[in-house]
Amino acid sequence: MGKVIGIDLGTTNSVVAVYESKNPGIILTQDGDRTLPSVVAFTQNEERLVGNPAKSQLITNPENTVYSVKRLMGKRFSELEPFLDQFSYSIVKGPKDTLKIKTKDKLFSPEEISAMILEKLKEASELYLGSRVESAIITVPAYFNDSQRKATRDAGEIAGLQVTRIINEPTAAALAFSLDLKKKSKIVVYDFGGGTIDVSFLEVDKEIIKVIATAGNSNLGGNDIDILLSNLLISEFKDEYGTDLSKNKLAVQRIRDAAEIAKKELSSLDACEINLPFMADSSEGPIHLLRYISRTEFENLILEKIEETIEIMEFLLNNANIEKSDIQEILMVGGSTRIPLVQAKVNNFFKKEPNKKINPDEIVALGAAMQGAITKGETKDMLLLDVTPLSLGVKTYGGSFSRIVEANTTIPTDRSLVFSTVEDNQSEVEINVYQGEREIAEENKLLGKFSLRGINPAPKGLPRIEVNLNININGILTVTAIDLSSKQKKEVAISNSGLLSESEITELKKEGEKYKRADLERKEAISKKASIYNHIYSIDQFISNMKLEPEIQDECKNALDEAHRVIEKEKTEEMDETIKKLQEMNNRLTSLYKTVIENIPQKEIKPVEDEKSSDSTKKVETRPLQYLKEKKKEVEEPNLKKPDTNPIQSTKNK
Ligand code: AMP
């Protein structure tokens, strides 16, 4: 196997690096640049351009010039529909709510366009290394969901690269910086790029970098700042000259370009001039757009957006239960961290200077190259560990959410829980997989569902159905359900449609906090109800299988009627009392039952022919006895009790 290159496939720019002579280094593009604009253009004479030449087409050929394709990766058309006016090229609906990029008369998937950028980087690497390159590590924002990761991987494959691993951008940044880190440190990676903001809290311990928690927003980046400034210019132009430029794609693109240039200039200057000649015509001749803007005015314009990024950081640290003062290193990644206001706000938040030694454009690709070297065993074993952003689990009886993998669990991970049925002889259960922090499953996001069939007939609560969630190194989730008795098994990789966007994740985390108490109360009520139903079932079994004294039988029936009434009222305090009463009744019936069993002479129940006799005492040697034996076992093995009080919902309509 040749070299494994590291690629930062960015929204605005992409970078490729390789590990050589014990160090990762940037590979120059065919144009001799350190970064490649992530832009692909299709010209009038059927030419395909990638990088700088494509970027120059943005103004003259905006409909056929594709930029920010990273924002489209793994997205459904309906998800993106509200944002379509932010793109100067046409995005149309494909089959099954997929999206396609329409340039001239051709349709492309976002993966195909990304593959063109990757191909260019692959070619540059081959030119530099003088040998074929077949494998790559590609980075993605930490909150890229499953379908976005898959799309990135597919893009790599289309470009003829075997994608050895997809790693998170902040993780890559920390890895590249790790040589400078102390053996044990806590770091924050603040990654503010063209399209996204990602903040991660990581711990470095000896050779292990562990992402403890991440948060972010995939719809907040430098592009949004450009749009803010462009919108200001467009609205001022309209106020002054009565011409609305917002419908003129060419004009919008020119303004956006100028806004980005001004933004960058304001990172080093106190003021700058935006000068766009011939923006519109009037009776008095052409109108030019000329605007002087100071850094202070620009900062006021973008302040809210920058504060949003600081709120995300605050939320992250609160969530991870970590004090700002415990953070030893703050790594600033992404081009937008060059904005002085961003640096000031981060500095002010931590009361500490962020690290200035690193190049925010290159560090991610360098980290990816280091991971490539680790994969090939070329460098010491620095292990990379990532976390799941939200809890994952299944819906259980009554609608509760049973967590199997807690939020911020290090991946790869493999966790199981055992559940049971809610009806006698239930042959099928439905596994509904959710992601979120709410205690009620349906308040979370449904990732997928499937049925496990062929469960051996048994009284409710007896079958043991193990549900396993496996998240692999690339963050891809596989759910397996297995009936431990019949060994029936079903395995499902969670489909693309499911997992959450970064902003959804942040929103769900906040909601989880907000509703924590109310949810816990609802969950408690559900669990109490389940407990009452279990007792009712058990007492019913006694009534129908034992010859009870009439007054005991009446007592039981009254208690059951009362229990049904309490369940209907849904009052948790009354449920406690009812559970207690039913428990006592169950205990009494169990001891009565034991006395009956002990008084049966052995020989009467053993011979087969005796079982056919009409002696009522032998009735007990039927299923309920087995059932009670099992119940006793559960009490002795408290670990197995959980499934019974928390059974999976039946697939049958109840
Ligand atoms: P990235 O996604 O990391 O390549 O970052 C690209 C974003 O950084 C774009 O929105 C750029 O406009 C922005 N950017 C690059 N350089 C600067 C700069 N000097 N000042 C402000 N923003 C910048």
Report the CATH number at residue 237. 3.90.640.10
Q: Does ligand 1 have an atom closer than 6 angstroms to the CB of 223? A: yes
pLDDT in tens, 121-158: 999 999 999 999 999 999 998 777 777 888 998 999 99
Q: What is the mean pLDDT of residues 160-187?
A: 83
Give percent of the chain above pLDDT 90. Answer: 42
pLDDT-derived band at 241, boundaries 50, 70, 90: very high
Helix (H) or strand (E) holding 523, with range, is helix 516-545
Looking at the fold, whether 265 and 149 belong to one and the same domain comes out as no
**Positive or negative CA dihedral for 565, 567, 572, 574?**
positive
Residue 448, in any domain of the structure: yes
Mean residue pLDDT across the chain: 83
Query: Which residue has the CA at smallest separation from atom 1 of ligand 1?
Result: 193
**Residue 652 above 90 pLDDT?**
no
**Cα 559 vs. chain centroid, distance in angstroms?**
47
Least confident of 27-31, 424-428, 460-464, 567-571: 567-571
pLDDT-derived band at 614, boundaries 50, 70, 90: very low
Residue 543, in any domain of the structure: yes
Residues 6+ apart with CB under 8 A from 619: 545
pLDDT-derived band at 297, boundaries 50, 70, 90: very high
Residue 56, in any domain of the structure: yes
- CB 421 within 8 Å of CB 530: no
Q: pLDDT at position 535, please?
A: 85
Q: Which two tokens stand for residue 399?
A: 């609608």
Looking at the fold, whether 200 and 226 belong to one and the same domain comes out as no
Residue 137, in any domain of the structure: yes
Q: pLDDT at position 236, please?
A: 96
CATH code assigned at 500: 2.60.34.10
Specify which of 486-495, 563-572, 574-583 reaches the highest per-range mean pLDDT: 574-583
Q: pLDDT at position 413, please?
A: 87
Looking at the fold, whether 380 and 478 belong to one and the same domain comes out as no
Query: Which residue has the CA at smallest separation from atom 20 of ligand 1?
Result: 264
Q: What is the mean pLDDT of residues 40-45?
A: 90
Give me ligand 1 centre to Cα 360, in Å. Answer: 9
Residue at a domain's end among 359, 386, 413 = 386
353/331 Cα distance (integer angstroms): 10
Residue at a domain's end among 275, 302, 329 = 302
Looking at the fold, whether 185 and 140 belong to one and the same domain comes out as yes
Which residue of the set 3, 8, 55, 631 is catalytic?
8
pLDDT in tens, 350-398: 999 998 778 999 999 999 999 898 877 777 656 666 677 788 999 988 8
* Amino acid at residue number 415: R
Looking at the fold, whether 284 and 311 belong to one and the same domain comes out as no
153/261 Cα distance (integer angstroms): 32
Q: Does ligand 1 have an atom closer than 6 angstroms to the CB of 448? A: no
CA distances from 249 to 54, 63, 85, 626 (A): 17, 8, 10, 76
Q: Count of CB atoms within 10 A of residue 570's CB? A: 13
Looking at the fold, whether 573 and 449 belong to one and the same domain comes out as no
Cα within 13 Å of Cα(291), Cβ side: 22
CATH code assigned at 85: 3.30.420.40
Best residue among 336, 341, 359, 363 to mutate for probing ligand 1, ranked by most atoms within 8 Å of CB: 336
Q: What phi and psi, each to the nearest 5 degrees, are found at residue 65? A: -120, 115
Q: pLDDT at position 389, please?
A: 72
pLDDT in tens, 222-231: 989 999 999 9
Looking at the fold, whether 284 and 380 belong to one and the same domain comes out as no
**Residue 99 above 90 pLDDT?**
yes
- CB 498 within 8 Å of CB 448: yes
- CB 375 within 8 Å of CB 4: yes
Which residue of the set 111, 191, 226, 361 is catalytic?
191
Residue 323, in any domain of the structure: yes
Residue 264, in any domain of the structure: yes
Specify which of 195-199, 590-594, 612-616 reaches the highest per-range mean pLDDT: 195-199
Looking at the fold, whether 44 and 162 belong to one and the same domain comes out as yes
Residue at a domain's end among 252, 270, 302 = 302
Within 353-499, residue ranges assigned H as helices are 363-375
DSSP 218-266: TT-SHHHHHHHHHHHHHHHHHHHH---GGG-HHHHHHHHHHHHHHHHHT
Best residue among 73, 264, 266 to mutate for probing ligand 1, ranked by most atoms within 8 Å of CB: 264
Looking at the fold, whether 253 and 322 belong to one and the same domain comes out as no
Bridge partner residues of 271 (DSSP)? 294
Query: Which residue has the CA at smallest separation from atom 14 of ligand 1?
Result: 335
Looking at the fold, whether 473 and 532 belong to one and the same domain comes out as no
DSSP secondary structure letter of residue 648: B
Bridge partner residues of 106 (DSSP)? 103
Looking at the fold, whether 212 and 356 belong to one and the same domain comes out as yes
Looking at the fold, whether 246 and 307 belong to one and the same domain comes out as no
Residue 633, in any domain of the structure: no
- Catalytic annotation on 31? no
pLDDT in tens, 75-91: 889 988 888 887 889 99
112-143 core/surface letters (b: 16 or more CB in 10 A; e: else): bbbbbbbbbbbebbbebeeeebbbbbbbbbbb
Query: Which residue range forms the structural domain that includes residue 460?
Result: 390-514
**337 SS3 class:** helix
How many domains are there within the chain?
Answer: 4
Residue 639, in any domain of the structure: no
114/9 Cα distance (integer angstroms): 8
By residue count, the chain amounts to: 654
Tell which residue, 635, 542, 536, 532, has the closest CA to residue 593.
Answer: 542
